[in-house]
């Protein structure tokens, strides 16, 4: 199996398709986990026009993809890239929980669900910013 993957990854076009496919799959899985841990139904809120949820979700999407980008650049195999992107995602998730914990004067998820755009924007910036720190640290 390893030799088949190595053969596929030695072709630049095949490698792009493989990384793209694995990246999309990782994005779907990691977003599903975020959806599971938030107190609001993100896609339902976005459908209703909740800009705060859209900003927070957009920040998560960017953060996940940015971490995956860094892990692709830093690793030789698709397996290591996926492993390090999963580690990075867990750190991004921890950062989201820390944001909730370190802001005791407000409930982040509740404020985002209420379309508090300041909190949604802050959540987006936090996800984007943390993705650069996490991405630079993955090896």
By the 8 A CB rule, do 135 and 71 touch?
yes
Distance of alpha carbon 30 from its chain centroid, rounded? Answer: 6
**The pLDDT of residue 100:** 84
Query: Helix 51-74 vs helix 78-101: angle between axes, to the nearest 10 degrees?
Result: 140
Residue 58 CA, distance from chain mean position: 9
- Determine the 3-state secondary structure of 65 from DSSP: helix
Please give the full DSSP string across 77-108, using - where no structure is assigned.
SHHHHHHHHHHHHHHHHHHHHHHHHT-TTS-H
Helix 78-101 vs helix 12-37: crossing angle, to nearest 10:
20
Give pLDDT, residue 1: 59
Q: What is the pLDDT along the chain (139 residues), one digit of tens a residue?
A: 567 777 777 888 888 998 999 999 999 999 999 999 988 989 999 999 999 999 999 999 999 999 999 999 997 788 888 999 999 999 999 999 898 888 878 899 999 999 999 999 999 999 999 999 999 998 6
Structure confidence at residue 54 (pLDDT): 97
Q: Whose structure tokens read 């975020």?
A: 34
pTM above 0.85, yes or no: yes
């Amino acid at each position: 199996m390893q030799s088949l993957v190595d053969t596929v990854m030695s072709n630049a076009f095949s490698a792009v398709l493989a990384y793209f496919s694995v990246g999309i799959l990782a994005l779907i899985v990691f977003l599903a986990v975020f959806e599971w841990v938030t107190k609001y139904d993100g896609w339902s809120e976005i459908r209703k026009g909740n800009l705060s949820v859209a900003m927070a979700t957009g920040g998560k999407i960017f953060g996940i993809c940015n971490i995956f980008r860094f892990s692709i650049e830093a690793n030789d195999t698709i397996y290591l890239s996926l492993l390090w992107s999963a580690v990075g995602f867990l750190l991004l998730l921890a950062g989201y929980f820390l944001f909730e914990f370190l802001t005791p004067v407000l409930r982040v998820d509740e404020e985002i669900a209420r379309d508090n755009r300041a909190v949604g924007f802050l959540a987006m910036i936090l996800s984007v910013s943390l993705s650069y720190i996490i991405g630079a640290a993955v090896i």
